[in-house]
Each structure stands twice: as C-alpha cells, then as structure tokens.
Amino acid sequence: MSEHAFAVLRQLSNGGFHSGEAIAQQLGCSRTLVWQAVNSIQQELGLTVFSVRGRGYKLATPFHWLDVASIRSGLSIEAAEVFTLAVAERTDSTNSQLMARASNGVLHGLVLAAELQSAGRGRLGRCWQAKLGSGLTFSLLWRFERGMAELAGLSLAVGVALARVLRRLGAPITLKWPNDVLLNHSKLAGILIELSGDALGPTAVVIGIGLNVDQPGEIDQAVATLSSANVTINRNDLLAAILNELHLVLSHFNLYGFNATLRQEWNQLSAHLDSTVNLSFARGEPISGIARGVAENGALLLETSQGLRAFHAGEVSLRSTA
C-alpha cells in the first residue's frame, strides 16, 4: 500500500473535491505520489474515488474517522475514569496487540480501536474482515481479581451489553450462543474473549468486538449491518455508547459474575430459545436438541433424547435447524 494512502484519504474524507496539487502541497509530496495514493485507496482499500479534470479528486462516500477526543466526549464520568483510549489507522489485530501487552502491566481499561485490521480474528480462528470505515473493530483490556474458572459466561455478559445499546438505537437484535449478535438471523457483531493469568487470579482479559455499521465488503458469510436496520449513528458516538454499557456490565460481572440478572436477560435475547438446534464439534458426532437457555456458568442447556445436557463453548458451533 502507498505510504501516503491514509494521509491522502484524510484530505478526501470530507467528501469535497480536492486538487492533486493542493493535496501535494499539504503533504509535501509530488502529485505523482498523490496519484499513486489514490490508486492504492481504490485498489487496496476498496473505496471509490472520483477523478474530474479541473476539479481534482473526490471520495464517493465520505466517512468520519475514529477520534479519541470525540469518543471520550461521549463517555460517562465513571467510564471516562476507567478507560484509556487509543486509535490506530492500521494494525494486524487489536486483540493481538493488547494480548501482547497484557502481561507487561498495561493499564486496566485500555481500549484500542482500529480503522483497518490486516489479521482480524473471530472465534475458532476465523477471519474478521471489514472495509475501511464500514464498522467498529476494537479491543478492551480488563483486569479481574477472579481466576479464569470464575469468568465463565463473560462473553454472554458482553453480548448483553451490546444488545442493550443496539436495541436502544432501534436495531431488533438477538443473541446467538456463545458470542454472536444477530440481526434478522444474520451476523451483525462478534465477540472474541482471550485470557491470560493464573488459575486462581488475577486474570487479564482482552475483549475483542467487531461490529458491521455498513457493508464490510466481500466476505464468505451472510452478514447484517446497522444501516440495513435504518440505524444511522456516528461511529465515535456508537463506540462511546458501547463503552459506557460495557463499563456497567463488566463492573457488575466483577462483583457478581454471570448471575441470575444477566442470565435472565441473555435468555430473553436468545435467538434460539426453545428451538431445535444442532451442535457440531471439532471432534465427535453432532448433537441435536432443544435449546433451553444458559446455565450459571454460561453453558448452553440442551434438551436431548438423553435428557438435559450442558455444553461449554470450546470447539462447539451452534446452528439452527429452521
């Protein structure tokens, strides 16, 4: 990618026409480098740039960049005291970056958001891709005094926090066990939890979230977007709202774990409650049954021909039979 691509894109992001000469003067580079950057923006970032003789370059669809000051202005007083915000234009994976720092005493409450990830990850090693400006991809480092075994159900609690925000915005989302947010049965957002620490505590947890605001580009599965639900919101405002709710939920979880309050709320939001589903495993035969909600430890309760059984996330995938 052209080293000037992001700098040129920042010049164009307001949606107006900008001459190549003016951009070159602003950046202290040649018009040829500007032209190369525009090509890179189109070919490698997948964004459309109009080029009109006598007027210059214009980004087809302007967007707002993630901005630390804008995000912080939307935080509650309590959340602002806990969260330290950082935004990267490009990184491999926000989760990988925070996991690499988790054992080095990095601040509790550090949030890293990225405009573009080259190696974004989802659950079970799946790739998470998003076109520049089309979504939110961020990770949060949260330190618990609890041991790893006491953090069961954390991904479900994070799902509840996302659901509260998105439903307030008017998106009729549901939750899929163990870590997906659905809109009209398609994936709107995903959650990736990674842990490091001692069995008895303390534990450093990195919570990664990817959310589709607009179409993320060409991907290998059906996805939903907030725009398809007619939800229009600046990404900085959206991230602030999510962080405010995460602060509430994680503080609650730190005291009480995945208690009856969170469990009941998750069950009410479940996309598959009392429906027949199939569970598939990395090893072994799939199992069918009726989803009966989740247990105190976050396990899926499945009514099978052998009775009520509990399944933990691990290498399990859930599919509806409908």
**Rg of the chain on CA atoms, in Å:** 21
Contact 266, 272 (CB under 8 A): no
The Cα 188–Cα 166 span in angstroms is 10
Contacts of 235 (CB under 8 A, 6+ apart): 63, 64, 66, 133, 135, 136, 213
At residue 190, what are phi and psi to the nearest 5 degrees? -135, 155
187 is an active site residue = yes
- Write out 214-228 in H/E/C secondary structure: CCCCCCCCCECCCHH
The Cα 63–Cα 2 span in angstroms is 20
Instruction: Point out the catalytic residue in the list 143, 164, 187, 263.
Output: 187
225-231 long-range contacts, Cβ below 8 Å, gap at least 24?
225/134, 225/183, 225/188, 226/166, 226/169, 226/171, 226/188, 228/183, 228/184, 229/170, 229/171, 229/172, 229/183, 230/170, 231/166, 231/169, 231/170, 231/171
Instruction: Point out the catalytic residue in the list 123, 143, 176, 263.
Output: 123
168 is an active site residue = no
Amino acid at site 305 = S
The Cα 232–Cα 126 span in angstroms is 28
The Cα 304–Cα 50 span in angstroms is 58
123 is an active site residue = yes
List residues with catalytic annotation.
123, 187, 319
